[in-house]
Structure 1
Amino acid sequence: MHDRDPYTPTGSYYECLDCQYRTRGADHLANCPECGGTVRNLAVARE
């Protein structure tokens, strides 16, 4: 169990769709701080 997903329902985690960089942010991120790619909020349910 070395690579655990850091997601918690009380935190806002964002993941870059291009480089998979993850960060926790208080404000909505429009772009990845690492590569400038599109980010998604991991707290939003996916179907």
Structure 2
Amino acid sequence: MHQGDPYSPTGSYYECVACQARTVSDDHLGSCPDCGEPVRNLAVPRE
């Protein structure tokens, strides 16, 4: 369970589309380090 949204405009936060794990990385992530599924960049607006 997540406690609050760790999003910050100065960080690169990624969220896994499958397990919702969140990871901070300076490099572009292509997959979740926990389960290997795709991740999305939380800084990219979603509708």
Q: TM-score, normalised by structure 2?
A: 0.89
- Distance in 2 (CA, whole Å) between partners of 1:35 and 1:7 is 21
2:44 is aligned to: 44
The root-mean-square deviation of aligned C-alpha atoms, in Å, is 0.6
2:23 is aligned to: 23
When Rg is computed on C-alpha atoms for both structures, the one with the higher figure is: 1
Q: Which amino acid aligns with 1:35?
A: C
2:9 is aligned to: 9
Number of residue pairs aligned between Structure 1 and Structure 2: 45
- The runs of 5 or more residues in structure 2 that have no matched partner are none
